[in-house]
Chains A and B, each alone.
Chain A
Amino acid sequence: MTRDIALGQFIPGKGVIHKMDARVKILLLIAFIVLIFCTFNFISLGLITASVVAVILLSDIPFKMYLKSLKVIILIIVITSLLNIFYGSGEPLVQFWIFKITLSGIYRAVFVTVRIVCLILISSCLTFTTSPTDLTDAIERLMKPLKIFHIKVHEIAMMMTIALRFVPTLLEETDKIMAAQKARGADMESGGMIKKIKAMTPVLIPLFVSAFRRAYDLAVAMECRCYQGGDGRTRMKILKMKKLDWFCVAFTALVLIGVILCNIFFPAAI
């Protein structure tokens, strides 16, 4: 049975964010992340939270999906905010044994929680609305300037493309090999950790052998199609900034200015 793993959790849709240039999305995501960590009072924090909420409302992705991605890290949120509550300085509000809770501690906890939640929401928004292919493509184009530092940008992107292409194939293959070994009486369910790991050998070895064989075939096929690395290569898809993209850049710039002004004109809370 083929397991359909949603790679990178891309959810096809027709929303505004879906239509944006993936390069712009990545850059704006970075801008947002920086902004999230540059909020020092409640007003700027409120502003950035409102912007993030606005973005995810525009994204044409069911809110349920965002909740799912938050669920994964709920434990981290709880632990870090608890640590922060007890880490504050100043007059304790409540005190018991060696623990004391201060106002600044509560503030810190609120900031940390809101920041992490915003961070997860906005990053999920990128992965939900951008197909893995578009994402690798955008990363390759954005990283192009790094070539002067002798970073093999094209090769890295090519590897990512091939990996994305072969993940479903290899998953399917894993299923097949597992079924075949089960048919030979392999017991993969019972026993402790070590026994289970040992029981995986009959699956892992054929899987590696097959991956190598595929890699060899693919290399031959790529050479047959005149692949000679990134030099002199053109691309079918040309990415162009559209009105929508400029609008989103402008929006982010406004948020940026807003956050800076709030930070200047209102006192820092932490």
Chain B
Amino acid sequence: MELLLIILIGLLYGSGVYLILRRSMVKLLLGIMLLGSGANLLIFLLGGITKGKPPVIDEKAKLFQDTFADPIPQALILTAIVISFALTAFAIVLLKRVYALVDSDDLDDLNTNEEEDI
């Protein structure tokens, strides 16, 4: 399981970086999303994968008698997913606006000269 996740994380990071280095804005966005998913899986992996019960422990129990899964990585991933959801939604709207204004998908076309500034 760990090995599978490691390969998957490597793939996600690698393709994410590759897409970010392209000149297209849509590929930039896709690359950022892939990198985000890679980071989330990395938290999941490094938090330690244990087969265990949900970490809700009986009130009277004084000792851990079972293996319990670590709840923190899940909380972190959930937070990170929510944040990346908001960022992605914003980025899609922004890139749509830019495409409508500049009429190009190429990042190199996003350069207004200094002379045209106000």
Is B one of A's binding partners? no
